[in-house]
Amino acid sequence: METLRQLPRCAPARMLAALGVALTLLGAAPARAADTPGGAMPEATPELVEQGRAIYFRRCSFCHGLLGDGNGPAAEFMDPRPRDFTLGTFKFRTTQSGELPTDEDLFRTISRGLPGTGMQSFDDARIKNGLSEAERWAVIAYIKTFAPEFDDPEFDPYQTLVALPENMAPYNADSIAKGAAVFERAKCWECHGRQGRGDGQKAFDRKDDWGFPIRIRNLTHPWKIKGGAEVADIYMRFSTGINGTPMPSFVKALDADERWYLANFIKSLQHQLTGHQVLKALAVEGAVPEAPDDAAWAEAEPMDVRLTGQVVAAPRWQNPSIELVTLKAAFNDTEIAFLLEWDDPFEDLTHNDAAVLDTTELSRVGGYNSYVAANDMVTRQLETFRDAVALQFPVRLPEGTVKPHFMRGAASTPVQLWTWKADLEAGGGRSVEEAIARGWRQTPQVRPDDQSQVSAQAVWDQGRWRVVMKRPLTTGERNDVQFRPGVFIPLAVNAWDGSNGEHGLIMSLSTWYFVLLEAPVPVRVYLLTVLAFLLTGAFALWLVRRAERENREPGGPET
């Protein structure tokens, strides 16, 4: 009991929030360490179980609960919720549907973690505060005590193993095409959508076996595929199913070759992240593209912007559904346009004003409302709000490397927000608002529509929003960002998924990136280049002629 009294009470959610920010902003997971243990699990002696109990209380109980029932103090803020070990239902296994996991399955999950969830890696080769192999085995020994099925020989998982095929089809165009046919025939699109974006679900109405709402997985985001994003990992999910979810096993419906083809096809859908942080705007002749489907956008270089839940200020939010927005930009002599693209399975065109959190009140009172817990975290609410996205720029270009705070700037370093709102788009009026923000504690000052110079067009199709925002390069407004060629202009993104309960400060946000309008090369540069080439050639010719004369003169150098 002394161990229980020493557990922190409110720190877990804050720790998890900070961890989520760090992992998301860093991008893809680090290179894998070995997920296979050095040997078999040691005998579960009382000493080993007791060691595992101490580690579990210290490192695992915040999420999974002291009783292993998935009801730790941080559980209500997490999506998906932590596993209830007492039920003996485990999602990621190499055993048949409905069966227990092997010891190696549990070791793999604890070692690598589950991407896209609060379950971090505990491999000490991956993270400094991880657990050694011996400590991980001790925790597994203790976790197995929560479910009595592990002690029943009748439920021996090693009797229900699913093996990888011996002769696996190569990952190539032929096997991918065969997998696409399987994807169509097996009707995987009914859940995951035709493009794999998770938009087959018509409403936020799917639930797991415990009654918690779930969203169908977006297969194009490999960092969100919890059981592993490689072909072998995906094949195993088709073969074993994911216990407790609508994802079934396809062992009886598809043979091994078909499942492998399908895994290759799913792998081909995965988005390959760009690696740069400078958006190079495309210089165009004539008008800049205004429509999201304008063919001119194909010529512009994309830049992926990673986002994470807003946990800087209350109400804190660590269950964002928008983690990636892809940007393109184009400009001419007078205007600039930005194309923003992101996946969202639901087109949310209405806004529930009555349910909006008053962030002004949050800064003055401590009571908040039913959304906000004592530690300033927000539980997941599935009320319908509008979809929205915002571009953020500093009002004044920073000097050196110092930039405004990426969350709405500050009183002395204001930022400009261009916020597109889906309900305004649906209403047929001006769909984008311009505002000046001076820190998150103050409500942004919205510019009247008749003074706004930003226009927008948007389209939602097959689980993807595409929004174009356009504005003159320069304006007469003192608080407007001014776009000039050759200047690195900081840029950040905010995003809201309405069906995920996001509005106000409950949102996704990014750190600063840059946009660059490449300056045209002056004509004198070309002239100077030609002149330098001619002078160099003339000098070389003079040297050759001089050498020839010296060779012809008596007493000249011998050759």
pLDDT at 11 over 90: no
Sorting pLDDT into bands at 50, 70 and 90, what band is 8?
A: very low
Indicate whether 121 and 177 sit together in one domain.
no
* Structure-block tokens of residue 464: 């993807």
CB 387 within 8 A of CB 497: yes
Q: What is the CATH number of the domain that holds 102?
A: 1.10.760.10
End-to-end CA distance of the chain, in Å?
A: 98
Amino acid at 288: V
Judgement on whether residues 183 and 114 belong to the same structural domain of the protein: no
pLDDT at residue 362 above 80?
no
Residue-wise pLDDT tens digits, 32-72: 445 778 889 999 999 999 999 999 999 999 999 999 999 99
How far apart CA 101 and CA 517 sit, in angstroms, is 54
Among the three residues 161, 179, 214, which one is the final residue of a domain in this structure? 161
Asked which of 242, 272, 302 is the last residue of a domain, the reply is 272
Give the pLDDT of residue 523: 47
Residue-level pLDDT at 44: 96
Q: Three-state SS string across 231-252, please?
A: HHHHHHHHHHCCCCCCCCCCCC
Residues in the chain: 559
Q: pLDDT-based confidence at 318, cuts 50/70/90?
A: confident
Same domain, 2 and 141: yes
Residue-level pLDDT at 469? 98
Do residues 154 and 192 both lie within one domain?
no
Residue 66 near residue 369 (C-beta atoms within 8 A): no
CA atoms of 539 and 545, how far apart (whole Å): 10
268 is in which domain, residue-wise?
A: 163-272
DSSP sequence for 485-499: TT-EEEEEEEEE-GG
Mean pLDDT of 244-272: 96
Which position has the higher pLDDT, 425 or 279? 279
- Among residues 272, 307, 324, the one where a domain terminates is 272
The first and second tokens of residue 518, run together, are 């490449």
Phi and psi of 242, rounded to 5°?
A: -120, 100
Each residue of 192-230: pLDDT tens digit? 999 999 999 887 778 888 888 888 999 999 999 999 999
Residue 127 phi, psi dihedral angles, 5° rounding: -130, 150
Is the domain of 530 the same as that of 501? no
User: What is residue 559's predicted lDDT score, i.e. its pLDDT?
Assistant: 45
Task: Look at residue 448 and tell me whether its pLDDT is greater than 90.
Answer: yes
Clarify whether residues 260 and 357 are in a common domain. Answer: no
- Tell me the per-residue pLDDT of 512-559, one tens digit each, with 9 for 90 and over: 999 999 876 454 544 566 666 667 777 677 677 777 777 766 655 554
The mean pLDDT of the chain is: 87
Q: Which of 122-136, 494-508, 529-543 has the lowest mean pLDDT?
A: 529-543
Are 85 and 23 in contact, with CB atoms under 8 Å apart?
Answer: no
**The pLDDT value given to residue 373:** 54
414 shares its domain with 474: yes
More confident residue, 384 or 16: 384
**pLDDT score for 166:** 87
User: Is 50 exceeded by the pLDDT of residue 291?
Assistant: yes
**The pLDDT of residue 16 is above 70:** no
Can you tell me the distance from the alpha carbon of 234 to that of 226, in angstroms, rounded to the nearest whole number? 10
pLDDT of residue 548: 73
- In the block, which residue shows the tokens 């990673």? 306
Beta strands in 289-344 (DSSP E): 303-306, 308-309, 324-331, 335-343
Query: For position 235, what pLDDT does the model report?
Result: 97
> Which H or E element spans position 268?
helix 256-268
Q: CB–CB of 485/520 below 8 Å? A: yes
- Residue 37: cis peptide before it, omega within 30 degrees of 0: no
Residue 288 and residue 247 in one domain: no
- Within 13 A of 351's CA, how many CA atoms are on the CB side? 18
Q: State whether 148 and 68 are in the same domain.
A: yes
Q: Residue 458: pLDDT above 70?
A: yes
**Confidence at residue 51, expressed as pLDDT on a 0 to 100 scale:** 98
Task: Provide the pLDDT for residue 192.
Answer: 95
Strands 278-283 and 324-331: parallel
Q: Is the pLDDT of residue 360 over 90?
A: no
Looking up residue 462, the CATH number of its domain turns out to be 2.60.40.1190
Determine which of 25-34, 277-286, 338-347 has the lowest per-residue pLDDT on average: 25-34
Q: What is the Cα–Cα distance from 320 to 494, expressed in whole angstroms?
A: 11
Residues 370 and 479 in one domain: yes
Model pTM? Answer: 0.83
Average pLDDT in the 481-509 region?
A: 95
Instruction: Kindly state the average pLDDT of the residues 116-139.
Output: 94
From CA 287, how far away is CA 298, in angstroms rounded? 15
Please, are residues 343 and 323 in contact by the beta-carbon 8 Å criterion? Answer: no
Counting the structural domains of the chain, the total is 4
Contact 382, 501 (CB under 8 A): yes
Position 524 scores a pLDDT of: 57
One-character DSSP codes across 64-115:
H-TTSSS--TTGGG-SSPPP-GGGT--SS-SB-TTPPPPHHHHHHHHHH--T
Determine which of 148-152, 155-159, 356-360, 469-473 has the lowest per-residue pLDDT on average.
Answer: 356-360
The DSSP code sequence of 432-471 is EEEEEES-TTS--EEPPGGG---EEEEEE-SSEEEEEEEE
For residues 344 and 250, membership in a common domain is answered with no
Residues 167 and 157 in one domain: no
Distances 87 to 110, 243, 347 between C-alpha atoms, Å: 18, 11, 36
Task: Write the CB contacts of 156 (distance below 8 Å, at least 6 apart in sequence).
Answer: none
The C-alpha atoms of residue 482 and residue 453 are separated, in whole angstroms, by: 12
* Tokens describing residue 405: 């705070």
**Do 121 and 127 form a contact (C-beta atoms < 8 A)?**
yes
